Amino acid sequence: MARHCQSAPSAQQGRGGREQPLIAFVGNPNVGKSTLFNHLTGERVTTAHYAGTTVDAAVADTEVDGRPARIMDLPGAYALTGAPTGDPGVAETLLESAPDAVVVVVDATNLARNLPLALEALDLGLPAVVALNLADEARASGIAIDTGAVAALVGTRVVETVAVTGEGVLELMRAALDMAAEGAVAGGPIHRYEVGFERLVAPLVTVTERRCTVVGRLGGRGLALKLLEADPEVTAGLSSAGESGLLRVAEEVRVSLRHAAHEGVPRTVAEARHRLAARIADDATERAEQRARVAWERLATSPKSGIPLLAGVLASIFLFLFFVGEFLAGVFSGAWARFASPNITAAVEALAGEGVAARTLLWGLDSGIEAALGIGLPYILTFYFLLALVEDSGYLNAVAFLADRSMHRFGLHGRAVIPLVAGAGCSVPAILATRMLSTGRERFIAATLVSFVPCSARTAVILGAVGHYVGIGPALGVYVVTLLVIGLVGIGMSRLVPGHAGGLVMEMFPFRRPDARVVARKAWSQFTEFLVVALPVVIVGSIVLGGLYESGWLWTLTTPLDPVVSGLLGLPSVAGLTLLFGLLRKEFALQLLATLAIATMGEGAGDLASFMSGTDLFVYALVNTLAFPCISAVAVLGRVVGVVRAAGVISVTVGAALLVGTLFAKGIPVFMQLVGGGGL
């Protein structure tokens, strides 16, 4: 066994007085790390089959065999330090939090690509256990892994797991808790790299094994590798501690490595890990012959086949939403009118009579709930289900690769497509996901464009107002106009914001068959989160709106909006007031508009076409889609790009919404008259 660095902290020291052990989960992107975390803790960390989903650490408590534990899920990372793909933030979190055990989650279908992260964790002296996740996919691909051989070659415990079913998870957690209970952190791993590499670094490791008191959370070998990679924090700490001799030895070894490898030291260290990982994978893996299969990844990334495939996927999503959403909306509306509304009305009138108070309450408890569920169930839940299918299949990764050339016109690279597509679900996580981009310029441009992307709430408005009452063509037209605006804004920002887009270097993940249970659970989880936020606000907002209407104050409040709402956009004054509620959540605008129509004109006016013309509904949906995102997205936008830039984004979105809305409000009637029609 490797020696123990004299200053390496024990588990008790590492806990710093914690009552329960801390177990950190790390892993390359897209290996099911967050799915394991969700399975263990019952949390709802967003997972998807592409890189960049987890951008913040998540912490939750769990219990295994009666033993409590705190689990920390860290963002996906290909490396911790040194290499170009390293994530210093993850390494810093690991070293500062001093977890009692680290679970390194690797893809069992691609050991050679994933094991370097486990080797690095052990090099740093972290108490690591390896989880060979996706073991079922490995078996289905004819890959048989000797976990005992991997454990012997890597130098730690190895457990096969299947996150989506829970296979092996209990055994994994037992191994992690046992390691935490052992109370020691190895100063160096059992594994060793090539003889030439080990011979060159041996003088430095020998010194750091004796002097690792300077950096107490690193084992001796970890300190040596940090010095080889010229880690500025470690170097500064040693310099201030007067360890000039140790720094001199480190520089001599760095020079020797550069001369031997003819390249930078961090790259040399990373390549040594990758070569060892490849040898371990070869020695511990057997592959059975597999039948030829359709290379979907190649079809999806080739322009000749990928572009038609993308068009087909987008068209399928839109048509499914339109027809299935339309059907579900009709079913819900009929069921509500037959069963829920009469009972709610009777209950409210029994408590409050039939006066103004009762009518005001019915705005929220009857019309408000009907509007919220009547839009949420048919469109938002359906959309979340479709989005989860696309995410978990891995198709978004192929879209990012396919779109790289086009995205350069916006000053971005292909990976920026991922937050843009994620924005179709919700703007908040999509804006956060822009942090995966490498420069502040790219994050600013991408976050601005995400603010225009029709999220699920805006999709509900488009399909619930235009698609349902005007037709599928005009609804599609709202999307087309929005995409044109996004394109124009992107091109403009690319030219105006200083800097340039970097190249795209990304791992292509194989497509996977989404697990129906995981997809359904994710969609329902996101929808219930929507309901928790939406229902109270819609009910309260509807009651306030009802009170204003019943008291006559509603028309007074709409007067200041008339020059813009009626004058420029040609909408009823009250429609502009409901648009302001979109600042809370985008679908609230339509829900309150529907509430207003139902409450003022009866159940028959649930047909918004009797309240507004087709042109009005088109313009209403367009302005709601393009104008500033909801307040939650605005807050996140301020965190990601700064308050000043966030204010600029809001100004651009509002300006674009009013300009485009006015053009269509004035232009559609003229166009329809020219072609012999009266309007949409």
For the stretch 208-243, pLDDT in tens is 776 654 444 566 777 787 788 777 777 777 777 777
Last residue within a domain, chosen from 288, 310, 325: 288
Within this chain, do residues 158 and 15 fall inside the same structural domain, yes or no? yes
Q: Can you tell me the distance from the alpha carbon of 364 to that of 462, in angstroms, rounded to the nearest whole number? A: 23
Q: Using the structure block, give the residue that is written with the tokens 């890959």.
A: 143
Structural domain count of the chain: 2
Query: Residues 122, 187: one domain?
Result: yes
**Same domain, residue pair 328 and 262:** no
For 258, the enclosing helix (H) or strand (E) is: helix 244-261
Q: Rounded to two decimals, what is the model's pTM?
A: 0.61
Maximal CA-CA distance, the chain: 91
How does pLDDT run across 310-346, given as a tens digit for each residue? Answer: 888 878 887 887 788 878 878 888 898 889 989 999 9
pLDDT score of 452 more than 90:
yes
User: Residue 232 is part of a domain; what is its CATH number?
Assistant: 3.40.50.300
* 16 part of a folded domain: yes
Average per-residue pLDDT for the chain = 79
Reported as a pLDDT band with limits 50, 70 and 90, residue 633 is confident
Whether 246 and 362 map to the same domain: the answer is no
Q: What's the confidence (pLDDT) of residue 253? A: 82
What's the pLDDT band for 11 if we cut at 50, 70, 90? very low
What is the distance between the alpha carbons of residues 510 and 230, in angstroms, rounded to a whole number?
36
Consecutive H or E run containing 532 = helix 516-551
> Lowest mean pLDDT: which of 8-12, 93-97, 102-106, 542-546?
8-12
pLDDT at res. 159? 94
Q: How far is CA 359 from CA 11, 346, 526, 578, in A?
A: 64, 12, 33, 19
Least confident of 211-220, 417-426, 625-634: 211-220
Q: How confident is the model at residue 676 (pLDDT cuts 50, 70, 90)?
A: low
* CA 459 distance to own-chain centroid: 19
Amino acid at 575: A
Q: How confident is the model at residue 626 (pLDDT cuts 50, 70, 90)?
A: very high
The residue among 231, 257, 288 that closes a domain is 288
**H-state helical runs in 366-514:** 369-375, 382-393, 395-402, 404-407, 417-422, 427-433, 440-452, 456-461, 468-469, 472-496
Local confidence band at 438 (pLDDT 50, 70, 90 cut-offs)? confident
Does 421 lie in the same domain as 549?
yes
User: What residues form DSSP beta bridges with 167?
Assistant: 162
The rounded distance, in Å, linking the Cα atoms of 354 and 675 is 50
* Residue-wise pLDDT tens digits, 142-197: 889 999 999 988 889 999 999 888 899 999 999 999 988 876 544 445 688 888 88
Q: What is the DSSP string of 114-168?
A: HHHHHHHHHHTT--EEEEEE-HHHHHHTTEEE-HHHHHHHHTS-EEE-BTTTTBT
Give CA–CA dist 412/409, Å, rounded: 7
Print the domain residue range for 59. 1-288
What is the pLDDT, as a whole number, of residue 3?
A: 36
Residue 49 confidence (pLDDT) above 50: no
Q: Which two tokens stand for residue 147?
A: 């976990």
Query: 600-619 pLDDT, tens per residue?
Result: 555 544 567 777 888 999 99
Question: For residue 136, is it within any domain?
Answer: yes
Q: Is the pLDDT of residue 484 over 70?
A: yes
Structure confidence by residue, pLDDT tens digits, 514-535: 878 878 888 888 788 767 766 7
List Cβ neighbours of 493 (8 Å cut-off, separation of 6 or more).
410, 411, 444, 445, 448
